[in-house]
A and B are shown apart, each in its own frame.
Chain A
Amino acid sequence: MTENTLAQFKKELDIFVIIVSMNMAAGALAMALAMTYIIVSIQGQPAWQIPAHLRILVAILFMIGFGFGLNWIAASGRILRGVKPVRREYRRRTGPVPDETLTCWIVRVLAHYRGNRSTIRWMVPISIIGGSAFLLLGISNLAQGIFGADDPFRWFAFTAAAINMTIGCASIACVLYFRRYSAAWDERIETAARSEQALQCALERR
């Protein structure tokens, strides 16, 4: 039983670390992009032929986006911090893993998930909103590139569209995997809670 359990545990943890890392990368890209737009909107470059007060509004919106990106990275980092030490331990281990060690890893990850359950759940809707916003922005950039035939910054619009749509797709992909992870671990927490009765009986028996 231990070998299969261990293989499943390792696989899940490895995939989860990849997803959270992708999430962090999406957050960093969002921050970088927000910073670019803040600078462009404040400077009022020719590509932005909009009134000054609107430019300030856009800059404020992107500052909020920057803050979200920063928060996003911090939250992802917190989640990663709890999982990485366990991952490091099983990667370092060369011999067979004793039952107790494996149970200890499971308990640690379960406890970590319990502690961060609300953050992981919040990441799902925020990622959908963020991803959709980036996709919309990408579509508008694409439209700007296609229909702005006389616009000298047309190619800049295509580049922006590619970046925005990549971030949008990555965010939405992260959501799908996060939801799967969240559902699997919610079920595990419920199963563990149901097992508590058996544990209680075992403790009270004496």
Chain B
Amino acid sequence: MAGRRTPYEIYWEILVYCKTPRGFTAIINRCDLNSKIGQEYLEFLVSRQYLAVVTDRERTSYQATPGAAEYITLFSSLYQKLFDESPGFRL
């Protein structure tokens, strides 16, 4: 996703993408982040227990925890409200 996103938008994107376990490279590619910034976002989400680290043999992946659903729902409702409450755009 290009453009200028806020950190909250990036958190939401990572959490939605990680509904199924995803590797680090897949996450940073999908969310268009560099590895340093991507690592920071993942560390924050892991520290807040929104993401769980899943280790399968030698492969580490990240998966959204049930707690992430709360953030995802709140985010979706707030962003969809933007189109319910803001003035429409008519010709």
Contact B80 A1 (CB under 8 A): yes
Q: Are B89 and A107 in contact (CB under 8 A)?
A: no
- Decide yes or no: A114 and B3 within 8 Å by CB, A103-B79, A199-B74, A202-B74 being known contacts: yes
> CB < 8 Å: which of B13, B48, B71 contacts A107?
B13
Min CB gap A186→B, angstroms: 10
Q: Is the CB of B49 within 8 A of A206?
A: yes
Q: A107-B12, A188-B86, A206-B49 are in contact. Are A2 and B74 (CB under 8 A)?
A: no
In contact, A198 and B1 (Cβ under 8 angstroms): no
Chain B interface bracket (under 10, 10 to 19, 20 to 34, 35 or more): 35 or more
Digitize B62-87: 1 where CB-to-A-CB distance is under 8 Å, 0 elsewhere: 00000100111011111111111111
A2 to B88, Cβ gap below 8 A?
A: no
Chain B residues whose C-beta falls within 8 Å of the C-beta of A116 in the assembled complex:
3
Report B-chain residues with C-beta under 8 Å of the C-beta of A108.
Answer: 1, 3
Chain A positions 166 through 182: 1 when the CB is less than 8 Å from some CB of chain B, otherwise 0: 00000000000100110
**Distance of B25 from chain A, by nearest CB (Å):** 21
Residue in B2, B12, B83 whose beta carbon sits within 8 Å of that of A115 in the complex: B2
The A interface, classified by DSSP as helix, strand, loop or mixed, is helix
The answer on a CB contact under 8 Å between B79 and A192 is yes
CA distance A199 to B11 in the complex (A): 10
Give the most central of B49, B70, B83, B84: most A CB within 10 Å.
B83
Bound CA span A202–B49, Å: 12
Q: Which residues of B contact A200 (CB under 8 A)?
A: 8
Q: Does B34 contact A (CB under 8 A)?
A: no
- Residues from chain B with a CB closer than 8 A to the CB of A192 are 6, 78-79, 82
The residue in chain A whose Cβ has the minimal distance to the Cβ of B76 is: A103
B70 CB contacts on chain A under 8 angstroms: 202
CA distance A4 to B83 in the complex (A): 8
Inter-chain CA distance A204–B8, complex, in Å, is 12
| In the complex, per-residue mask of A81-119: 1 if CB is within 8 Å of any chain B CB, else 0 | 010000000000000000110111011101111111000
Q: Does B9 contact A (CB under 8 A)?
A: yes
Partner of A114, one of B4, B16, B75, B77: B4
A199/B71 contact (C-beta < 8 A), A99-B80, A192-B79 known: yes
Interface residues of A, Cβ cutoff 8 Å to B = 1-2, 4-5, 8-9, 11-12, 15-16, 18, 82, 99-100, 102-104, 106-108, 110-116, 177, 180-181, 183-184, 187-188, 191-193, 195-196, 198-200, 202-204, 206
Selected A-B contacts with CB under 8 Å, 14 pairs? A4-B83, A9-B83, A82-B2, A100-B72, A103-B76, A106-B80, A116-B3, A183-B87, A184-B87, A188-B82, A195-B78, A195-B79, A199-B74, A202-B70
Q: A12-B89, A82-B2 are in contact. List 4 more A-B contacts (CB 8 A).
A: A99-B80, A177-B91, A188-B83, A191-B85
